[in-house]
Structure 1
Amino acid sequence: GGQLTPIDLIVEERFHRAAPGGMGGTKAAGNYSPVLKTQLAAKQDGFADVVYLDAKHDKYLEEVSSCNIFVVKGKTIRTPALGGTILPGVTRSSVMRLAEAHGYTVEEGDVTVDEGMEADEIFTSGTAVVVCSVGSLQYRGHRRRFGPSEGKEPGPVALEIYNALTKLQLEEEEDPFGWVYPVC
């Protein structure tokens, strides 16, 4: 395992990362350039990144600039469903399988901003970050800090999943899923 430093996110309401019928569910360079302006503005305001809403209803969480998002309430982990605008990442799939193996109920579907603001914990996943704990989420001027440390320490679920996944990747634990292949 390693150390997770929680990040602060802001919900973007004016711009969208992807739209139905577009390329949002495809790993393509064109999906990353539209987020650069909003990402830069967020960083100038002290946030690590941006959470984008769906382009159709403007109320459902979709993704962070280059990561999938997971919302935790009790033993339930919710993540936006794949539907053409969400990247079906390998890490996303791995996190979902690991979470179920660790006794969590994982649900895919529409996840409202309100669910995010009322969550016990939020984390993201992606190839580069593996799993990243969210320290706070800001929406319409209200900032919600997560956990007993007010977002200064990683959330327990993010830490559990991060440690489990990296131990498999580093072959520190037996791989029950058949994900690790020797290459030489």
Structure 2
Amino acid sequence: MSRQIKIEKTSTPKEKPDQRNLGFGIHFTDHMFIMEYETGKGWHNERIVPYAPLSLDPAAMVFHYGQAVFEGLKAYKAADGRVLLFRPQKNVQRMNISNDRLSMPPIDEELFLDALQQLVQVEKDWIPVEEGTSLYVRPFIIATEPFLGVRSADHYTFMIILSPVGAYYPEGINPVKINVENKYVRAVSGGTGYAKTSGNYAASLKAQVEAKDKGYTQVLWLDGVEKKYIEEVGSMNVFFKINGEVITPALNGSILEGVTRSSTIELLKAWGVPVSEKRISMEELLEASNNGTLEEAFGTGTAAVISPIGELRWEDHVMVINQGVTGELSRKIYDTITGIQSGKIEDTFGWTVEVK
């Protein structure tokens, strides 16, 4: 049964943006969900209110000690009018993994899903219907207690905001160029790499700026110890098709367990495509590129869904993959996942949740 959530509607609704020119993460809807946590009281005061700036104490612990976690998922409007979410249970499960690592309080799964569905229901007219668009959902938790001292906070705020979006990368489903990072380290096993926490992304920005200056869209991170084994792209997990087998780096404590990653693995297994999760080095990838067995490469993530990789630059080596065009398998995975998400393809996996 849905929880009673107080809803306060805005008196000044915004003008909706042009669906053909949305960009990503630029526009925000009229309302947001918010609730607070206090040690000894738990999560409380859940409500949907007009979208507005926050008022935080300058000593709020999130500013000083970085207790912040977030998630990302999408809502879609099917041709028959249904509003669909894609595997939202995975997001609350992962958020609680992040909460645990950052010593933050867990969110009740039922409460998370109720809040999400009620907010999306309020804002369903904001869901774009143009090809390649969706309503991006950003849940997040921050430590709000005003205190200067290194410990877990006693007060937190949980929020969900919504943004109508187009493609995450300007290239869309066309291949991106990626620089393999050798200098900087994002995460190591035992750290926070497997959690979706803001600091992980802050740690990646310097390398991303340098890659962009070289003409590359994103960064491929290597392991933080030997700088030898492939881990993930800044905003995506990564897959390589080598001699008919699809390989993705095994989860090792420093790689985020992506929802689209797990969906891709399930799809490939259902199709009978050989797929394995294992450690793979840049030397192995370069060898496959040189001998012609590196057939495709692509990233997976909520924002981009599937992003083919057309070029990898590692040290002095430039690997052009599949002649720099989108591979057949990459396209099939993209079409299938987005088809299920938008209700165009039957969901035989039970991945979508209808908002009612």
TM-score of the superposed pair, with normalisation by structure 1: 0.94
Deviation at 1:56, TM superposition (A): 2.0
Report what 2:74 is aligned to: none
In the alignment, structure 1 residue 161 sits paired with structure 2 residue 333: yes
Report what 1:170 is aligned to: 342
> What stretches of structure 1 of length at least 5 have no aligned partner?
none
In the alignment, structure 1 residue 126 sits paired with structure 2 residue 304: no
For the residues of structure 2 that align with 1:44 and 1:88, how far apart are their CA atoms? 29
AA paired with 2:308?
S
For the residues of structure 2 that align with 1:176 and 1:75, how far apart are their CA atoms? 25
For the residues of structure 2 that align with 1:107 and 1:73, how far apart are their CA atoms? 11
Deviation at 1:102, TM superposition (A): 2.1
Deviation at 1:181, TM superposition (A): 1.3
For the residues of structure 2 that align with 1:122 and 1:114, how far apart are their CA atoms? 16
8 Å contact from structure 1 (residues 116, 122) kept in 2: no
Q: Secondary structure at the match of 2:335?
A: helix
Deviation at 1:115, TM superposition (A): 3.2
Report what 1:144 is aligned to: 319
The 4+ residue runs of structure 1 with deviation greater than 4 A are none
Q: Secondary structure at the match of 2:355?
A: coil
1:1-184, aligned counterparts within 5 Å?
4-117=173-286, 118=288, 119-147=294-322, 150-151=323-324, 153-184=325-356
Per-residue CA shift, 1:72-131, capped at 9, x if unaligned? 113311111111101011111001111212221111110111333322111000110101
For the residues of structure 1 that align with 2:284 and 2:262, how far apart are their CA atoms? 21
8 Å contact from structure 1 (residues 71, 115) kept in 2: no
Deviation at 1:146, TM superposition (A): 1.1
> What stretches of structure 2 of length at least 5 have no aligned partner?
1-130, 133-171, 289-293
What is the aligned length? 181
For the residues of structure 2 that align with 1:137 and 1:5, how far apart are their CA atoms? 15
Q: Percent identity?
A: 39
Per-residue CA shift, 1:38-89, capped at 9, x if unaligned? 1001001000011010012211100111210001113311111111101011
Deviation at 1:33, TM superposition (A): 0.4
| Higher Rg of the two aligned structures | 2
TM-align CA RMSD: 1.3
For the residues of structure 1 that align with 2:176 and 2:210, how far apart are their CA atoms? 16
Report what 2:19 is aligned to: none
For the residues of structure 1 that align with 2:284 and 2:239, how far apart are their CA atoms? 11
TM-score of the superposed pair, with normalisation by structure 2: 0.49
AA paired with 1:139?
W
AA paired with 2:295?
D
AA paired with 1:125?
T
Deviation at 1:159, TM superposition (A): 0.7
